A and B are shown apart, each in its own frame.
Chain A
Amino acid sequence: DTGVSQDPRHKITKRGQNVTFRCDPISEHNRLYWYRQTLGQGPEFLTYFQNEAQLEKSRLLSDRFSAERPKGSFSTLEIQRTEQGDSAMYLCASSLEAYNEQFFGPGTRLTVL
């Protein structure tokens, strides 16, 4: 399957711990996006990359969040000092170029105890 993949699919952590999620986009897609979805809400944009360059970060993204896409392929999203309010589904999407359809991965569900 050549769709967007995310790892892990589920993560349970204790408050204050750091977590890192990985997203592998569809190969040759140069745009990669991160979204967060909480219960009963639609996905909220967090940040996106064009190749390895991070072009925009949402004001929702606190200093505890950092994302990288070092070689323009896979991306990681790290949350430091997790809080209970970080519990959500973290979605990754990729597209071939601007204004093209974004293909979404299955998401990583984070639970912070």
Chain B
Amino acid sequence: AQSVTQLDSQVPVFEEAPVELRCNYSSSVSVYLFWYVQYPNQGLQLLLKYLSGSTLVKGINGFEAEFNKSQTSFHLRKPSVHISDTAEYFCAVSDRDDKIIFGKGTRLHILP
């Protein structure tokens, strides 16, 4: 069975500072990995995805994530955050079955 663990429920960070949101997954088969973002009062939006190939994946809004198979991790990073990045971020995994299993989310607070 697949599962996703987001290690931090909330992450406060100062504006223009770097941020890393951590995600670990477990799966017995090859997986596809995703990060979704949910801005206040809005629907889920795909930030980036890893299907195969390069382990460093670049997404929208300056975010990137690195797939590490040996550590079963898919951490999300941004070198300099902006107040508009305030949102909840969900790591997710999918196998060939296509349904998505989401983590519990990490709320990113940007401090002025």
Show the binding face of A for B, using Cβ within 8 Å: 4, 31, 33, 35, 40-45, 48, 56, 91, 93, 98-99, 101-107
Q: Is the CB of A42 within 8 A of B103?
A: yes
In the complex, the answer to whether B42 meets A40 with C-beta atoms within 8 Å is no
Q: Report yes or no: B42 in contact with A106, Cβ–Cβ below 8 A.
A: yes
What residues of A have a CB within 8 angstroms of the CB of B105 in the complex? 40-42
Residue of B nearest to A6 (CB): B43
Q: Contact check, A56 vs B44: say whether CB atoms are below 8 A apart.
A: no
| Contact sample, A vs B, 25 pairs, CB 8 Å cutoff | A4-B43, A31-B98, A33-B100, A35-B102, A40-B105, A41-B104, A42-B90, A42-B92, A42-B102, A42-B104, A43-B44, A43-B100, A44-B102, A45-B101, A48-B99, A91-B44, A93-B44, A99-B94, A101-B46, A104-B36, A104-B43, A104-B45, A105-B43, A106-B42, A106-B43
Known: A33-B99, A42-B92, A56-B97. 11 other contacts (CB 8 A): A31-B98, A35-B100, A41-B105, A42-B102, A42-B104, A45-B100, A91-B44, A99-B51, A99-B96, A101-B49, A104-B45
In the complex, whether B32 has a CB less than 8 A from a CB of chain A is yes
Chain B residues 78 to 105 lying within 8 A of chain A, measured CB to CB, are 90, 92, 94, 96-105
**A-contact bits for B4-33, CB 8 A (1 contact / 0 none):** 100001000000000000000000000010
Give the A-B contact count at a CB cut-off of 8 A.
52
- What residues of chain B lie closer than 8 Å to A43, measured between beta carbons? 44, 90, 100, 102
Interface residue tally of chain B, by bracket? 20 to 34
Which residues of A are found within 8 Å of B104, using beta-carbon distances?
40-42
CB-based nearest B residue for A48: B99
Q: Which residues of B contact A93 (CB under 8 A)?
A: 44
Within 8 A of A (CB), among B55-97: 90, 92, 94, 96-97
In whole angstroms, how far apart are the Cα atoms of A70 and B110 in the complex? 45
Query: Whole-angstrom distance between the alpha carbons of A107 and B39 in the complex?
Result: 13
Roughly how many angstroms separate A106 CA and B90 CA in the complex, as a whole number? Answer: 16
Which A residues are CB-close (under 8 A) to B99? 33, 45, 48, 56
